[in-house]
Copies of this chain bind each other. A is one copy, B any other.
C-alpha cells in the first residue's frame, strides 16, 4: 500500500514512522522538519518501543509524491483550506482519505471537497508530542478508531485496519464517525482548553486543582449533552475513566497548548466552536463550553 502523509506534526510523523517501519511504502509531505528528517530520519520514543527510521521519502511539494492508495490527513484544522490543492495530485481511482484531525468539521470538509472518494475518520486516542524536528514522543499508546458514513466498504476499512495493525497500531472499527469525533472531544475540549486558559499548564496541574477538575467534569458532561443533541450516546462512565487515564499521563501538554506556546493558531473552531454551534442549532445550551470558547477566542491572538 502506497501511503501519503499530509501534515507532518506529531501525529503524522508518529503514524507514518510506524507504518514505514512495518515495511509499508510511506511518503511524507514535510515543511519545517524537512532538512532535519532528510538528514537524520524520524525518531519515535514510545512506551512499547523506541526506534528511528532513515531513508524517509520526504517532499516539500505534494505533487512530487504522486498517486497513493491512502492519504493520511494530519494537518491542523486551521489549514484545511490548503487541503484541496495538496491532496488532488495524490488521488487516483479508489484512493482512501483518512483524517486523523481533531474536532468537528474536518470530515464534512473533506467529503465535500472530494465527493468521489471514500473519507474515513480515524480518532487517535493517544498522547503525542513532537519534541524536536523529526522527534516524536508517545506517552500513552492508545488506539485509532476508524469510522465512515459510507456503508458496505468493508474491504477498504479492512485494508486500512490491516495497514495499521501491521504497524502495531491498535485499531478498532466503529460504525459511526460522528460518535468517534464527539468521544474524542470529550477529552480535547476540557484538557486542550484549560491547559491554555488556566495559564499554560500541563494536564497534571489541571488535575491538581479542584476548580479545574470541576470544570473538566462540567465540560465533559456538556459534551455528553452535545453528543445527545446530535443523536449520539456517550456512556457517562467514560468521564471517570478519562480523568483516571489522564492522571496516568503525567505532565502532558495537549497539542493546543503546544501550538499556543509556539504562537501558532490552535484549533479553536473545530474543537470548541463547532460542537457549540451544532448543539445550539439543536436547541441545546452548553454554557460552560460557551464560556471556555469565548475565553479561548480572547486568548487566541493568531486565530484571527
Q: Which residues of A contact B (CB under 8 A)?
A: 196-201, 205-206, 208-212, 214-215, 218, 260, 287-288, 290-292, 294-295, 298-299
Contacts and interface: CB of A to CB of B under 8 A. Distances in A.
Of A201, A212, A295, most buried by chain B (CB within 10 Å of CB) is: A295
Contact of A299 (B206, B215, B290, B292): B215
21 contacts: A196-B211, A197-B198, A197-B211, A198-B199, A199-B199, A199-B205, A199-B206, A199-B208, A199-B209, A199-B212, A200-B209, A200-B210, A201-B209, A214-B299, A215-B298, A215-B299, A218-B298, A287-B298, A290-B294, A291-B294, A294-B294
Contacts of A196: 211
Nearest to A291: B294
Contact of A211 (B200, B205, B290): B200
Given A199-B208, A214-B299, A291-B294, 4 more contacts: A200-B211, A215-B298, A291-B298, A292-B295
A212 B206 CA distance: 15
Contacts of A214: 299
Contact of A291 (B209, B212, B295): B295
**Copies of chain A in the complex:** 2
A298 to B, nearest CB: 6
A205 B209 CA distance: 13
Contacts of A290: 294
Contacts of A208: 199
Contacts of A197: 198, 211
Contact of A295 (B201, B209, B295): B295
Nearest to A218: B298
A74 B10 CA distance: 55
A183 B257 CA distance: 34
A288 B296 CA distance: 11
Contacts of A199: 198-199, 201, 205-206, 208-209, 211-212
A189 to B, nearest CB: 15
A68 to B, nearest CB: 40
Nearest to A213: B199
A248 B292 CA distance: 31
Nearest to A257: B211
A197 B209 CA distance: 10
A280 to B, nearest CB: 15
B198 A198 contact: yes
A294 B287 contact: yes
Nearest to A199: B209
Contacts of A295: 291-292, 295
Contacts of A294: 287, 290-291, 294
| Closest CB pairs A-B (n = 3) | A199-B209, A291-B294, A199-B212
